[in-house]
Amino acid sequence: MVHSAHEEKLQNGADTASNLTVNGGATEESIENAQFYVDPKVEARLRRKIDFMVVPTVCLLYLFCFIDRANIGNARLAGLEDDLGMKGNDYNLVLSVFYISYIVFEIPANLLCKYMGPGWFIPLTSLGFGLCSVFTAFVSNVPEICGVRFVLGIFEAGMLPGIAYYMSRWYRRSELTFRLSLYIVMSPLAGAFGGLLVSGILKLPNFGRFHDWEMIFATLTDRPETARWLTEEEKALAVNRIKAERLGTTEVLDKMDTAKISAGIRSPVTLSTSAIFLLDNITVQGLAFFLPTIVRTIYPERSTISQQLFTVPPYIVGAFFTILIPALSYKFDRRQIFIILCAPMVMVGYAIFLGTSDGHARYGATFLVASSAFALAPLTNSHISANVLSDTARSAAIGTNVMFGNVGGLISTWSFVKSDAPDYPIGNGLNLATSSTILILGILTLWWIKRDNQKRANRSSGAELAGMSQQQIQDLDWKNPNFRWIP
């Protein structure tokens, strides 16, 4: 059988990557002592194929996931509290229960995703949260809805980190941020769609609290090697282009062990970025749960249907910027600086909330908040993914980031309480403080990355790695002296 020169070079590149050089617009990946040539046009064609086959499915699943989670805010506006006999802070309690299970199962769920394979794990957990959504229609009191929301949190715990981890199997570090934004944009779109959906349901007779649920159960391709829609040459290229970015590793999908899990969780960039996502998620989840309530305080004279529709435009703006900001990050191949730049818009938005009681100004402030807050999810997850090496460390790091984020979600459930109505100064002040802290922490992290990279450049890597086995070098992950943080 005759192979092309390109195919032979791909097959020769079956070992570990150690560096990357660019030559005349083409890319040469150094894989141990063998070189394989990557034709930019061939790689672009492969990337488009992956975009077409992988991204739409995960986008649709995450859209359903976030609607399940956040449509309780719209249900509140439509009479949920009266129907279930809620009193005092019962609504906040219902929201909190979801996050308790979500946080507890976050990292275990993502490690289970790696163990089972995303091609099995993501569809099964999607089926689970779909069933929970159906059962929500049958609850009749607070304990029942708390129970359903607790189970919903278990099934949804693995969705966001699981999809982020799954996509890291397909895309280079520089490509990942924008692709993550394409599914995370489903979060603001779910808010917009949820408002439109509820406004439509309220116009229909004889529906009560029930609505139809249709869900696509899609079997995802687990990894490039098993993709039936890729040729053998495309499979080799898909694997090798990911392997080429993983310094000191001999495999793309490694076996789980404690050292790699610890490396992913304890990375300084993982911890600082996860703290940023925690602070951001206080705003994002608070907006999802309480925007309908905020709109009601701004426009109390409007009908319930009109109030539902007023929740849609901020999410549309948020969706636009959730694509735009990561697209710019992709263009410049930088993430930390865009994390920093997202904070001021949120700060201005909540400063307006605190500074005026004018309804139009406060409604305008929701657009400022939505324009930046949602973009931090793809930025932080891709930033963490880019700054660890092994597949196991990446799974643990992304799980840690999303777990921290949902601690922020838990805090958000108590940021807007009835006793603080109608202006909610505590909730708005909290969000102003969190966005200000994001700005400070983001700047400090960028400074530390540059400083540590300079220190690493002055180290003698040969002496430090002398006498170590290949497995020991792999277990170093980001502690490898040849590793450099990517800002």
DSSP β-ladder status, 17-23 and 34-38: unpaired
Q: Any idea which of 76-90, 178-192, 213-227 has the lowest mean pLDDT? A: 213-227
Among candidate residues 297, 383, 291, the one with its CA nearest the CA of residue 339: 383
Residue 158 and residue 29 share a domain: no
**Which pLDDT score, from 0 to 100, does residue 368 have?**
94
Please report whether residue 235 resides in a domain.
Answer: no
Q: Determine the average pLDDT of the residues in 189-209.
A: 51
Taking the whole predicted model, whether its pTM rises above 0.85 is answered as no
Please report whether residue 219 resides in a domain.
Answer: no
User: What is the overall mean pLDDT for the chain?
Assistant: 80
With residue 38 as reference, give the H or E element that holds it.
strand 34-38
Residue 62 and residue 25 share a domain: no
Residue 172 and residue 97 share a domain: yes
**Which pLDDT score, from 0 to 100, does residue 76 have?**
75
Tokens found for residue 119: 């091609």
Number of Cβ within a 10 Å radius of residue 119: 17
All residues at 6 or more sequence positions from 437 whose CB lies less than 8 Å from its CB, including other chains? 279
Among candidate residues 403, 179, 408, the one with its CA nearest the CA of residue 287: 408
Please report whether residue 487 resides in a domain.
Answer: no
**Which pLDDT score, from 0 to 100, does residue 443 have?**
98
**Which pLDDT score, from 0 to 100, does residue 6 have?**
39
Among candidate residues 319, 287, 315, 292, the one with its CA nearest the CA of residue 412: 287
Among candidate residues 109, 22, 128, 177, the one with its CA nearest the CA of residue 400: 109
C-alpha of 435 from chain center: 18
The secondary structure of 84-141 as a DSSP string is HT--TTHHHHHHHHHHHHHHHHHHHHHHHHHHH-HHHHHHHHHHHHHHHHHHHTT--S
Whole-number Å distance between alpha carbons of 374 and 184? 8
Q: Backbone phi, then psi, for 137, in 5-degree steps? A: -65, -15
Residue 475 and residue 328 share a domain: yes
Whole-number Å distance between alpha carbons of 420 and 92? 13
Distances in Å between the Cα of 267 and the Cα atoms of 155, 260, 271, 292, 390 are 27, 11, 6, 38, 12
What pLDDT band is residue 352 in, cutting at 50, 70 and 90?
very high
Q: Rounded to 5 degrees, what angle do the CA atoms 375, 160, 392 make? A: 110
What pLDDT band is residue 453 in, cutting at 50, 70 and 90?
very high
98-155 confidence digits (pLDDT tens): 889 989 998 899 889 888 888 889 888 888 888 887 788 788 899 999 999 999 899 9
The answer to whether the CB of 192 falls within 8 A of the CB of 67 is no
Residue 146 and residue 10 share a domain: no
Residue 45 and residue 31 share a domain: no
Tokens found for residue 41: 């046009």
**Which pLDDT score, from 0 to 100, does residue 474 have?**
80
Residue 144 and residue 20 share a domain: no
The answer to whether the CB of 474 falls within 8 A of the CB of 248 is yes
Positive or negative torsion for Cα 240, 245, 246, 250: positive
Tokens 């807050």 label which residue? 373
What pLDDT band is residue 5 in, cutting at 50, 70 and 90?
very low
Q: Looking at residue 264, which CATH number applies to its domain?
A: 1.20.1250.20
Q: Determine the average pLDDT of the residues in 171-175.
A: 85
Cβ neighbourhood burial of 241 (10 Å; 0-12, 13-18, 19+)? buried
Q: Backbone phi, then psi, for 270, in 5-degree steps? A: -60, -45
**Which pLDDT score, from 0 to 100, does residue 168 have?**
84
Residue 69 and residue 15 share a domain: no
Q: How many domains does the chain have?
A: 2
**Which pLDDT score, from 0 to 100, does residue 143 have?**
93
Please report whether residue 233 resides in a domain.
Answer: no
**Which pLDDT score, from 0 to 100, does residue 449 have?**
97
**Which pLDDT score, from 0 to 100, does residue 161 have?**
86
Q: Residue 346 above 90 pLDDT? A: yes
**Which pLDDT score, from 0 to 100, does residue 196 have?**
55
378-433 confidence digits (pLDDT tens): 999 999 988 988 888 888 999 899 899 989 988 988 888 878 877 889 989 999 99
Q: Residue 191 above 90 pLDDT? A: no
Most confident of 99-103, 179-183, 447-451, 472-476: 447-451
Whole-number Å distance between alpha carbons of 353 and 364? 10
Positive or negative torsion for Cα 242, 243, 248, 252: positive
237-286 confidence digits (pLDDT tens): 888 887 776 555 555 566 778 888 999 999 999 999 999 999 999 998 77
Helix then strand then coil, % of the chain, to nearest 5: 70, 5, 25
Residue 50 and residue 32 share a domain: no
Residue 441 and residue 357 share a domain: yes
Domain that holds residue 20: 5-36
144-154 confidence digits (pLDDT tens): 999 999 998 99
Whole-number Å distance between alpha carbons of 475 and 478? 9
Q: Any idea which of 34-38, 92-96, 209-213 has the lowest mean pLDDT? A: 209-213
Please report whether residue 304 resides in a domain.
Answer: yes
**Which pLDDT score, from 0 to 100, does residue 39 have?**
78
Please report whether residue 217 resides in a domain.
Answer: no
Please report whether residue 240 resides in a domain.
Answer: no
Q: Residue 10 above 60 pLDDT? A: no
The answer to whether the CB of 69 falls within 8 A of the CB of 122 is no
Most confident of 11-15, 209-213, 397-401: 397-401
Q: Backbone phi, then psi, for 221, in 5-degree steps? A: -70, 125
Q: Determine the average pLDDT of the residues in 55-70.
A: 76
367-381 confidence digits (pLDDT tens): 999 999 989 999 999
Residue 43 and residue 32 share a domain: no
Q: What's at 333, amino acid-wise?
A: D
Among candidate residues 361, 359, 354, the one with its CA nearest the CA of residue 435: 354
Whole-number Å distance between alpha carbons of 164 and 126? 15
Q: Residue 81 above 80 pLDDT? A: yes
Furthest C-alpha separation in the chain:
76
Residue 48 and residue 182 share a domain: yes
Please report whether residue 224 resides in a domain.
Answer: no
